[in-house]
Amino acid sequence: MKYIIAIIQPHKLDEVQKALEDVEVNLMTVSSVLGRGRQKGLTEVYRGAKEAGNLLKKVKIEIACNEDFVEPAIAAIVKGARTGEIGDGKIFVLDLYQVVRIRTGERGGHAIG
Partner 1 sequence: MIDSGDTAFVLVSAALVLLMTPGLAFFYGGMVRRKNVLSALMQCFTLMCLVSVQWVLYGYSLTFGPDGGPGIIGRLDWAGLSGVGLLPNEEYSATIPHMAFMIFQAMFAVITPALIIGAYAERIKFSAFLVLTVLWATFVYDPIGHWVWATGGWLRKLGALDFAGGIVVHTSSGVSALVMALLIGKRVGFEQRAFTPHNLPLTVLGGALLWFGWFGFNAGSALGAGGLAAQAFVTTNTATAAAGLTWALIEWQQDKAPTVLGVVTGAVAGLVAITPACGFVGPLSAIFIGAVASILCYIAVTRVKGLLGYDDSLDVFGIHGVGGIWGTLATGLFAEKAVNTAGADGLFFGGVHQFLVQILLVVVTACYASGMTWILFKFVDAVVGMRVDKHSEIVGLDLTQHHESAYTVIE
Binding of partner 1 by 86 (CB under 8 A): no
The CB-of-11 to partner 1 minimum distance in angstroms stands at 5
Applying CB under 8 A, which of residues 24, 29, 33, 108 lies at the interface with partner 1? 33
Binding of partner 1 by 15 (CB under 8 A): yes
Applying CB under 8 A, which of residues 24, 27, 29, 34 lies at the interface with partner 1? 34
Q: Where are the beta strands (DSSP E) in the chain?
A: 2-8, 29-35, 44-46, 49-51, 56-65, 89-95
Which are the contacts of 52, defined by CB distance < 8 A and separation ≥ 6?
41, 43
Stretch that binds partner 1, among 21-29, 42-50, 65-73, 103-111 (CB under 8 A): 42-50
CA-CA distance, 31 to 88, in Å (whole number)? 16
Which are the contacts of 8, defined by CB distance < 8 A and separation ≥ 6?
16, 58, 59, 61, 77, 80, 81, 88, 89
**Would you give the binding string for partner 1 spanning residues 43-72, x where CB under 8 A is met?**
xxxx----------x---------------
Binding of partner 1 by 39 (CB under 8 A): no
Residue ranges in contact with partner 1 by CB under 8 A:
9, 11, 14-15, 32-34, 42-46, 57, 85
